[in-house]
Amino acid sequence: MRLGVIGIAPVLFVTGFFLALRYADNGPDLLAVWVVGAAATGVLYPLAVRAPRRLLVQLSLAMASIPAICLPLTLAIEPQTLLSMTSSFAILPVAVPLFIGWSRNLRTGWLVAYAGAVTSLVMLTGFGHLDLTQRADVAVDMAIGCLIGWCGGALLERPRLRAIESELELRRLNRVLSGHAMTDPLTDLLNRRRLETDLGLLAVSLRQVEAPCAVLILDVDRFKQVNDELGHAAGDAALQAIAAELKRVVRGRDTVYRYGGEEFVVILPGAEVEAASSVAERIRLAVEGLRIRTRPGDTEATLTISGGVAVSEPPHASWDAALRVADFALYEAKTAGRNRICSATTERMEAAIASTTNGGAAIATRPWRHNPDRTLQLEDGPQPV
C-alpha cells in the first residue's frame, strides 16, 4: 500500500506534464487535473502509514479512484488524448491494483466496474467529439487494457501469496517452538521456565487488587523405587498419570507446572492457606486413588504424593521466599510420614525474604516440627514465615 502511494503519485504528475506539453492549447487545464490527482494521492501516504489493516482496502479504493476520475476529466478537456495515447493511457487506473497488490476478487470487481463505467460514458456521450468508430476504438482499448491488467495482477499475486504463506508458516513454527520451550514434553504441563515468567506477571496483577497467592509444592513419594523396580518407562507413565490428575483437579485461574523430576508446583492466585490446603488435599486423594504400583506384584504398595503449602501476601516482594517456605512445608510432610499435606502461613514474608539473603542457609538447616494447627514452627519457638 505504501509503495503504491509512492509509485502512483509521480506517474500521475508525469502524465499531466507530458499531456500539457503535447496539447499546449489546453495544457494548463490538463496539467492542473493530473497535478491535483498526484497531490491527492500523496495525501493518502501519511494515512496509509498510520492506518490499521482493516482500512487498507478503503484507502486503496480511494487511491484507484483518483486516476479513474482524472481520465474522464481529461477526455472532457481534450477528447483526442485518449485516441492519440491509445490503450497505455486508458489503462492507467488499471495499473493501480498492480501497485497495491489487490486480491483477485477485489481486482476483478474494480476492473469490471471501471471498464463498464468508462466504456458506457464514452459510447453514450462521445464527449461531443468522437464518432461511432472512435467510440468503438476506445471501448476495445478499454477492454484490452482491463484484460491485461487482470492477467498482470494474477501473475503478481502468485509470489505475493507464496510470501504470505511462508510468513504464516514461519509464525506457526515460532508459536510451536515457543510452546515447546515453555512446556514439559513428558507431562504436557508448563515447565519451570514458564513458572518464572508467569510469577513475574502475576505479581503485578495481584498487587493491583491487594490479593494473596498460594504456592503449593508437590513431590511424589518413593518415586525412585518405581524407577528402580519397575523401570523408567513405568516411572514416566506414572508421572503422566499424575499430571493428568493434576490438570483434572486444578481448575480456573489456578495453574500447574512441572517443577523438575517428580516435583510439581501449583499456583493459586487469590487463595488463602485454608483454600490452598483444601485443593492440595483433593490432589493427594486423587493421586492416591490412581493405585499406581511401586513394586512388581504388590498391589498394596501404591504411589502417593506429599505437599507443602505457603501463601505470599501483597506486595509479593519475593516469590523465592514463598517457594522456600512451601518447600519447608513439603519437607515437614515427608518427615511426618509422607502422603500428607503441611501448610505454613506467610504473614511475615519480610522474615523469609531477609533469611533468603542474610541467613537462608542457617534457617534451612534448623529442624522443623509439625504443629497440630497445620502451621510450621522452629524448635526454639513459633516462626510463621
Question: What residues are annotated to the active site?
Answer: 262
The neighbouring-strand residues paired with 343 are 309
Residues whose CB falls within 8 Å of the CB of residue 218, separated by 6 or more in sequence, listed in order: 246, 263, 264, 265, 266, 280, 283, 305, 306, 307, 330
Three cell numbers, residue 32: 492542473
Measured CA to CA, the distance from residue 315 to residue 295 in angstroms comes to: 46
H runs (alpha helix) in 183-272: 192-209, 223-230, 232-249
What is the CA 44 to chain-centroid distance, rounded?
A: 30
Assess contact for 145 and 90: CB atoms under 8 A. yes
The neighbouring-strand residues paired with 302 are 293
Say how many C-beta atoms besides its own lie within 10 A of residue 65's C-beta.
16
What is the CA 45 to chain-centroid distance, rounded?
A: 28
Say how many C-beta atoms besides its own lie within 10 A of residue 28's C-beta.
11
- Strand 368-370: give its sheet, edge to edge: 368-370, 376-378, 381-382
What is the CA 298 to chain-centroid distance, rounded?
A: 49
Cα–Cα distance list, 229 to 79, 223, 226, 294, 299 (Å): 97, 10, 5, 8, 14
- The backbone torsions φ and ψ at residue 348, rounded to the nearest 5 degrees and listed phi first, read -115, 65
C-alpha closest to that of 229 among 149, 153, 294: 294
Measured CA to CA, the distance from residue 15 to residue 23 in angstroms comes to: 12
Radius of gyration of the chain measured on its C-alpha atoms: 37
Which letter does DSSP use for residue 135 in this model? H
